[in-house]
Structure 1
Amino acid sequence: MKLFKKNSPFIILLLLFIAINAILRTVLLFHPITQSDFDAQEILKIYTLGSLSDAMIFFVGSAFLWLYLLFLSDKKYRTPNGYITFAVLVLLLIYVSFFNTVLDEYGGSLPEIGIAFVAIKTICFGLLLFLPQYRKQLRLALYSFTVFLFVLIMVQNAVSEFFFWNEFGVRYNFIAVDYLVYTNTVIGNIMESYPVIPLFLGVGVVTIGLTYGIVKQTKSFLDKLPEVNEKLKSSGVYAVLVIVSLPGIPYLAKEANSNNVFANELQANGIYKFAVAFENSELDYDTYYKTLPSDEAFAILNREFKGSKGNNSLRKIQSDSNEIKKNVVLITVESLSGDFMTEYGNQKHITPFLDSLAEKSLQFTNLYAVGNRTVRGLEAVTLCLPPSPAESVVKRKDNKDKFSTSFVFKNKGYAVKYFYGGDAFFDNMEDFFGGNGYEIIDKKSFKPEEITFQNIWGVCDEDMYRKAIQEMNNEAKQSRPFFNHIMTVSNHRPFTYPEGKIDIPGTSKSRSGGVKYTDYALKQFFAMAQKQPWFSNTVFVIVADHCASSSGKTELPLEKYRIPAIVYAPGFVTPKHVSTLMSQIDLMPTIMGMLHFSYDSKFYGQNIFGPNYHPRAFVATYQDLGLIKNNVLTVISPVKQVKQYRLIQEKKSGLKSEFEIHYKEQPMAKLNTELLNETIAYYQTTAHLLKTKKLNK
C-alpha cells in the first residue's frame, strides 16, 4: 500500500510529528521552570506513552491530509468528468459568494473563509484542468505548499508550547483557550515580549528546510499515484487507525497519573489538552466531583457559618460597635508573589516601597490566593467565594447581580468604582463589574494627554493612579464615602514601562523590572494620596491577584499561591503581623469587620478576627480544588478523585517562621474523612448556590 510506504508523505509527516514532540519534551524536561527530578520509569513513560499519544493525535488530526492524498488523481481531469466537476465548483463558488448559506448563520469571518476556500479550490482545479502541459509542475507546487502548511503547524505548535510552558509550566489549558478568544491582546503581548522577527524567521527557515527535504524524499509518490483499489485498501487501514485512536487518546491521557505533575504534563500532548480545555470551559460539580448528600453538605456549611440555616449561606453579620464610614481603596497588584518581598527572603530589593509600607501596616502573612489567574483573584475579592471548577464566575454568562462587596458598600451609601489601565473588555471584566454595580474607569476613559506610556496591556500604573486620584477627588467633593477597586497591569509580560523611573531599563523586559516599576508606581500613588484631604479618612488594602508562576511538583504547590496582603490606614490600623491562615476570599469581609459593618451576608469569606472563624484557605487550578486546614491539603479533582497531603514546613535560614512559604506535601495513605467532607461541602454548596442563583444579591 503506497500510502503507507517509507516514501509516503503520510508516513514521513507522522515520523516528523513524533520527532518534533520528542525534541519538545526534551527541551521542556531541562527547562529551568521544570523543578523536579524524574526516575527511569517516569522518563520511559514520558517518551513511550507520549510518542504513542502523539501518533494517535496525528492519525485523527491528519484527516484533511489523508483526503488530499486520496484525491490526487489524473482521471478526474479527463473529459467530461473534469468539465462537470469544474462547473459544479463554479456554481458552488457563486452560491457561497452571493447567497445565504449555513456559514452566514454562524457569522464572524466564517463566510469569508468559506468563500476563500472554495475560490482557491476552483482556481487550482481549473489550472490543472485547462493547462495539462503544466499539470505536473502545478501539482508539485500545490503538493509542496500543502506539505509546508502541515510542517508549519507542527513547528509553530512546538514553539508555542515552549513559550506557554515558559510562562505557566504546563501544557495548554484554559489559559490557552482564553488566549485564542482574546487574540488581539495576546498577539500584541507576544509582539512586545519576544523578538518576533528573528523568531518567525527561524520558524520559517526551519519549516522551509523540512518541507524541501520531505518533498525531495516523497516526490516519487507523485510520479505514480495509487490506483483506486489501493486507495480503498489504504483507507480501510487508516479508518482502523482512527477508530483505535479515538478512545486510545483519552486512555493514554489518563495514564499520565504520576504524583509528579511535571511528568504528567511532559507525557501529555498539548494539542489534546487544548481540545479538552476548549470543550470543558465549565465543569458541572455534581457530575465530575465527589459529592455528599445535599443536606449533609449544607449541615457542615451551617456549622462553619454561625447563623446560617438550611440550604443557604445567608446569615446576619452583627457588629457590637458603631459603623465607621471610612473610604476604602482596594489595590489588586498583578502577579505579586510573596517571595518578591524582602521579608519573604528576596535579596534583590525590588519592592523597597512595599517593604517599608508593610512595616507601617497590618500585614496578613499567611494568606493564599485562590487561583493562578487574574479573574480568580478578582472573583475572590469581589464575590468572596471559593473558586468554582473550570471557568471563573467572571467569565461566565451568569455573572451579574451577585452578592458582592460592591452590593454591601453601596447599601452603606458608598460610591463604587473599578479602575483598570487596559480595556476592561479583556477577561470579561467590563461585563462582570458593570453587571455588579461598579462604575468602570478603564483605558477608554483616558484623554490622550493623560497617557504618558502604554503597552498592549494598557496604560502604565502611574497613569492609572493619576486618573484614580482625580476620580477620588471628585468623589470626595460629593460628601459620600467611596470604595474604589484598582487593578494594576505593569507587572505583566512584556514588562515594559517608562524609562528613567527605576534602575532597571524598561528595554530589559525583565520580571524584576516589572515588579520594581510596580512598586515605584505605588510609591507615587501614595505620595499623591497623602496630599489629598480624604487621605486620613481612607483605608488602603493592597493584595496580589495571584502569584507570578503557578507551576510546581504537585497539583497545588502552595508556595505558588502565597501572596502578600497589607492594610494601611495611619491612626486607624495598628501595624502588626497577623499569621492566621486565611484565603483571598476573607480579605474584604475582614475589612468590613474592621469598619464594624452590620449586614446580611452570603459570603463564604469570613472576618478572620471574628469569634467563629476557623483558619482555612482555598487554593485551586481550573480543575483541582483544594482546602488547607490543620496542616493538611485536601484536593478534589474530576472523575471524583481525592488526595490529601500532610504539610511539612521546609525551613529556610534567615526567615521568620511566618514568612516560610515552602511546604513538603507528603501524600497521606489514610484520608482524614472530616477534612475531606468539609472540602466537598464548601465546593459542592458553592456550585449549588451559584447554579440556583441563591448567591445573587
Structure 2
Amino acid sequence: MAIDWAGLMMSKLQSFLGPYLIFIKLLLSGLVILSLSRLGLVVWQWDRVVAATSFPTVFWQGLRADLIMIGMLIAPLALGMPLLANRLGWKIWQNLVLIWGVLVIVLISFMEASTPAFISQYDLRPNRLFVEYLRYPKEVFATLWQGFRWPLLIGLTLTIISGGVAVKLLQRWLNTHQKPWPLWKVWLTWPLLILILALMIRSSIGHRPANPSSFALTPDAMVNSLMLNSAWSVYFAIYNMQHEANAAEVYGTMTDEAILAELHENYPWIDEDTQRKFPTLNVRQATIQRDKPLNLVIILQESLGATFVKSLGGEYAVTPQLERLKQKGWWFEQLYATGTRSVRGIEAVISGYLPTPARSVVKLSLSQQNFFTIADLLKQRGYFTEFIYGGESHFDNMASFFIGNGFESVIDQHDYDDPVFTGSWGVSDEDLLNKTHQQLQQKNAQGQPYFSLVFTSSNHSPYEFPDGRIELDNPVKQSNTNAVKYADYALGQFFDKAMQSDYWEDTLFLVIADHDLNVFGDALVPIERFQIPGLILGADIQPRKITTVASQIDMPPTLLSLMGISAETPMIGRDLSLNSEQKSTGRALMQFADYFALMHGEKVTVLRPQNTALEGHYSPKSRQLEIVGPASAEDERKALAHVLLPSWLYREQRYDMPLGRTDLMP
C-alpha cells in the first residue's frame, strides 16, 4: 500500500503550525506575485538596472520591501486571531481568512498589473498621483482607454484571474487539515507572531523603521522604485498626504529665523523678521514706469517641455510657430519648471510659490482663500481677472482655488458654443484661444484692464485634435508630437490675430509650459526634463535672449515689473527685468517625487528624505546631471531653507499680502 508522503508531511506541518500555516501560505503567495512582477519589470528596464546597480541588489532589497508590505496586510488578520482562531469562533475565523486573504492577493496583483503603464507615463512606480487622479474617473478613464487600452485590459484580466485563483487556493487550504487549537495554545504563541510581524514591518532595528528612502541606493530614481512594490509605494504616499503641513521636514528641520536668514543671503529684498504676519513681504519697484500699466495674459501650455523645442536642445522640431514668435520677445534659454504636474506650474506662475513634497497648494485646504495670487493683486488694482480653460474647471480643484483667490470669472468647457472640436479633455486649443481673443477684444472695447490665465489641454493624452490643421509629424495621428504641433499651430493662429488687434499694444503676454510631457531619466532628478520654453511678448517688448538659469517662480515678479506695477507681495522670485539679474548665474528649484533639487548655475544640491544631501553638476550642453558626492553643509542648509519655507508659510497661513497699499499704486 503506497504511502501519501506529501499528505503525511502536510498533516505533520499543520499539526505543528496549526492556524499559523495560513499566514505562511499567504506570505509566500504574496512574495511569489511581487517577485515575479519585479522580475518582469527588471527585464523590461534591464539596461537602466544594470547601469545603476546589480540584479541581486534589486532582488534582495525588493524582498525586504515585499516583507514590509505583506506584513502590514497580514497584521489586521493577526490581531483578531486570539479571539476567533479557537473552537468557538472557528467558522467565523475561516470565513474572515478567506475574505481577507483574497483581498490581499487581489490588491497586490492589481497594483503590480497597473505598474507598467504608470512607469511608461511617469517613469516611477505608482505613487500619490495614482490616488489623486482617482477623483477624476471620466478624464482618467478616457486617457487610459485611448492611450493605454491594452495594458488596461491585460491588467484587469490578470487581476480577475488572480482573484479567482486566490479563492480556489484559500478554500482548499482552509478545508484541508484545518483544525482549531486550544485557546491557551493560541494565546501562548500569538505574541511570537506579533513580534515577527513587527520586525517584518519595521525592517530595521534602528531608531526609524524603513521607508521608501531607505531603498534609494542608486542615482536612478526609477531603478530605486523597482526595489519597492507598488502597494507600499502608494500606501506611503497616502500616509504622507495626511501629514502634508510638515511634509518638507523629511529633509530636515530649521528654525523659522534660520530659514529667513539663509534665504536673505540670496534674496536681499527679504528681511529676517519672522514676527511679521507675512514674513516674506517685500516691495518691488517696477523697472518700467508707465502712466497706464499693461494688461496681462498668461498662456500656460500643457506639457510643452523643451523636449519638443529644437532650439532648446529638444529631441523634436514640432514648434515652428513658437520658434517664429521667439524673435519678437524675451526668450528664456534656461527656464525650469518647479514640478511635474500642472497644478505645480500653476502655483509657481500665478503665486510665485516654491515647490514642496506635499501636493500643490491649488489642492490643499488652507490655501483655498487668503492665499496670494497675482490675480488678487491685480483685482485690487481694478483689473478684471479671468481663468479660461477648455476642459472641466473642477479638475485638480482649479476653479475653487482660483475663485477663492482673486479670479472673478472662470470659463470652462460648458461655456463654448459650437466648438470646432471636443475631445476627452474638453474643447481644442483652437477653440480655447478663439474664446480668449473674443474676451480680450470685449474687455479692451470696454476700456477694462484685464488679467487672463489661459490653460491649454490639447497636448494631453489621448492627444485628440481636429483634422486638417497640420502636416502630421508622426503617421499615428494621436501621438504626442502631433498634439504638440497642433498646440503650436493654434498658438501661432492666435498671435497672428492678436498682433493685428487693438489690444496688442496695451497687453503683455507670457507663453510658458506647466511642465514637460514625460519627466523621466536615469538620474535622481532628471533636470533636462524640467526645462521648459518661456516667451514674453506684446506691447513694447523688444527681442532679447535671457540666458541665466530661471524658474517659474521668477515669472510673476518679472511680469509685474514689465507691466509697470510696483507692489508689495510675498513672492521671493527674481525680477529678471533688472540688469543685475541678467548677469547672475540664476537658480532653479525642482521637486521630483521624493527628491528636491536646488540648482545654482550648473551646481545642484539634491535633498533626499531622511538621508544625506548630494552634490551634483548639470551640464546644459550634455543635458546630464552627474552626482559627485555628499553636499556641503552650507549647500544643504541653503536647499533645506528653500523647501522648508513654503511648508512653513502654508502651515501658518502666512503667504498673503496686506490690503490697500495705495502708495504703491500708479
Per the alignment, residue 631 of structure 1 pairs with: 602
Give 1:186's match in structure 2, choosing from 117, 124, 140: 140
- Structure 1 SS opposite 2:50: coil
Answer with 536-545 or 316-325: which moved more: 316-325
Letter in 1 for 2:36: I
| 1:267 partnered with 2:227 | yes
Answer with 541-550 or 343-352: which moved more: 343-352
Q: Give CA-to-partner distance per residue, 1:159-195, whole Å, 9 cap, x none.
A: 2122211111112222122123334432343233332
Q: Check conservation: 2:614, 2:627, Cα contact below 8 A.
A: no
Q: Check conservation: 2:330, 2:536, Cα contact below 8 A.
A: yes
Whole-Å Cα distance in 2 between the matches of residues 165 and 424 of structure 1? 27
TM superposition score normalised by structure 1: 0.80
Q: Give CA-to-partner distance per residue, 1:514-546, whole Å, 9 cap, x none.
A: 212222222232244345322343222111101
Paired positions, count: 624
Q: Give CA-to-partner distance per residue, 1:604-641, whole Å, 9 cap, x none.
A: 11211325544211112354332111421112343364
Per the alignment, residue 431 of structure 1 pairs with: 400
Unaligned runs of 5+ in 2: 1-12, 274-278, 658-666
- Structure 1 SS opposite 2:215: coil
Per the alignment, residue 28 of structure 2 pairs with: 15
Per the alignment, residue 149 of structure 2 pairs with: 195
Letter in 1 for 2:229: N
| 1:44 partnered with 2:56 | yes
Q: Give CA-to-partner distance per residue, 1:10-56, whole Å, 9 cap, x none.
A: 54543342233223223333446x87353696421211121232133
Per the alignment, residue 288 of structure 1 pairs with: 250
Letter in 2 for 1:525: F
- Structure 2 SS opposite 1:21: helix
Whole-Å Cα distance in 1 between the matches of residues 163 and 647 of structure 2? 50
Whole-Å Cα distance in 2 between the matches of residues 213 and 627 of structure 1? 48
Whole-Å Cα distance in 1 between the matches of residues 285 and 163 of structure 2? 71
Whole-Å Cα distance in 2 between the matches of residues 225 and 533 of structure 1? 84
Per the alignment, residue 655 of structure 1 pairs with: none
TM-superposed deviation, 1:696: 1.2
| 1:248 partnered with 2:260 | no
| 1:370 partnered with 2:330 | no
Per the alignment, residue 62 of structure 1 pairs with: 74
TM-superposed deviation, 1:508: 4.5
| 1:225 partnered with 2:186 | no
- Structure 2 SS opposite 1:603: coil
Per the alignment, residue 667 of structure 1 pairs with: 628
Q: Check conservation: 1:493, 1:511, Cα contact below 8 A.
A: yes
Give 1:642's match in structure 2, choosing from 586, 607, 613: 613
Identity of aligned residues (%): 25
- Structure 2 SS opposite 1:555: coil
Letter in 2 for 1:392: S
- Structure 2 SS opposite 1:472: helix
Whole-Å Cα distance in 2 between the matches of residues 2 and 234 of structure 1? 15
Residues 347 and 234 (structure 1), Cα distance of their counterparts in 2 relative to 1, 3 Å cut: same
Per the alignment, residue 109 of structure 1 pairs with: none
Q: Check conservation: 2:86, 2:181, Cα contact below 8 A.
A: no
- Structure 2 SS opposite 1:633: strand
| 1:297 partnered with 2:259 | yes
Per the alignment, residue 272 of structure 2 pairs with: 310
| 1:547 partnered with 2:516 | yes
Letter in 1 for 2:250: Y
TM-superposed deviation, 1:478: 1.8
Per the alignment, residue 6 of structure 2 pairs with: none
| 1:319 partnered with 2:280 | no
Q: Check conservation: 1:624, 1:638, Cα contact below 8 A.
A: yes
TM-superposed deviation, 1:73: 9.8
Residues 57 and 477 (structure 1), Cα distance of their counterparts in 2 relative to 1, 3 Å cut: same
Q: Check conservation: 1:147, 1:215, Cα contact below 8 A.
A: no
Per the alignment, residue 26 of structure 1 pairs with: 39
Q: Check conservation: 2:287, 2:564, Cα contact below 8 A.
A: yes
Q: What pairs with 1:74-93 in structure 2 (closer than 5 Å)?
A: none
- Structure 1 SS opposite 2:405: coil
TM-superposed deviation, 1:153: 3.0
| 1:351 partnered with 2:319 | yes
Residues 46 and 331 (structure 1), Cα distance of their counterparts in 2 relative to 1, 3 Å cut: same
Q: Check conservation: 1:22, 1:51, Cα contact below 8 A.
A: yes
Q: Check conservation: 2:588, 2:600, Cα contact below 8 A.
A: yes
Per the alignment, residue 65 of structure 2 pairs with: 53
Give 1:616's match in structure 2, choosing from 587, 603, 622: 587
Whole-Å Cα distance in 2 between the matches of residues 430 and 271 of structure 1? 32
Whole-Å Cα distance in 2 between the matches of residues 271 and 519 of structure 1? 39
Whole-Å Cα distance in 2 between the matches of residues 676 and 205 of structure 1? 45
| 1:688 partnered with 2:660 | no
Question: What is the alpha-carbon root mean square deviation over aligned residues?
Answer: 3.7
Residues 601 and 611 (structure 1), Cα distance of their counterparts in 2 relative to 1, 3 Å cut: farther
TM-superposed deviation, 1:450: 3.1
Whole-Å Cα distance in 2 between the matches of residues 299 and 40 of structure 1? 38
Q: Check conservation: 2:86, 2:182, Cα contact below 8 A.
A: no
- Structure 2 SS opposite 1:228: coil
Whole-Å Cα distance in 2 between the matches of residues 236 and 155 of structure 1? 30
Whole-Å Cα distance in 1 between the matches of residues 641 and 99 of structure 2? 56
TM-superposed deviation, 1:334: 1.0
Q: Check conservation: 1:38, 1:263, Cα contact below 8 A.
A: no
Per the alignment, residue 418 of structure 2 pairs with: 450
Letter in 2 for 1:636: L
Letter in 2 for 1:489: S
TM-superposed deviation, 1:63: 5.1
Q: Check conservation: 2:83, 2:89, Cα contact below 8 A.
A: no
Q: Check conservation: 2:18, 2:179, Cα contact below 8 A.
A: no
- Structure 1 SS opposite 2:625: strand
Whole-Å Cα distance in 2 between the matches of residues 154 and 688 of structure 1? 36
Letter in 2 for 1:14: L
Per the alignment, residue 128 of structure 1 pairs with: none
Per the alignment, residue 307 of structure 2 pairs with: 339
Answer with 142-151 or 292-301: which moved more: 142-151
Q: Give CA-to-partner distance per residue, 1:317-352, whole Å, 9 cap, x none.
A: 223652252222111111111020121344643222
Residues 517 and 229 (structure 1), Cα distance of their counterparts in 2 relative to 1, 3 Å cut: farther
Q: Check conservation: 2:19, 2:180, Cα contact below 8 A.
A: no
Whole-Å Cα distance in 2 between the matches of residues 474 and 195 of structure 1? 43
Q: Give CA-to-partner distance per residue, 1:574-629, whole Å, 9 cap, x none.
A: 22321111111111211222233222232111211325544211112354332111
Whole-Å Cα distance in 2 between the matches of residues 445 and 191 of structure 1? 23
- Structure 1 SS opposite 2:222: helix
Letter in 2 for 1:555: L
Residues 74 and 376 (structure 1), Cα distance of their counterparts in 2 relative to 1, 3 Å cut: closer
TM-superposed deviation, 1:296: 4.1
Whole-Å Cα distance in 2 between the matches of residues 146 and 673 of structure 1? 49
Whole-Å Cα distance in 1 between the matches of residues 386 and 556 of structure 2? 15
Letter in 2 for 1:264: N
Whole-Å Cα distance in 1 between the matches of residues 496 and 296 of structure 2? 17
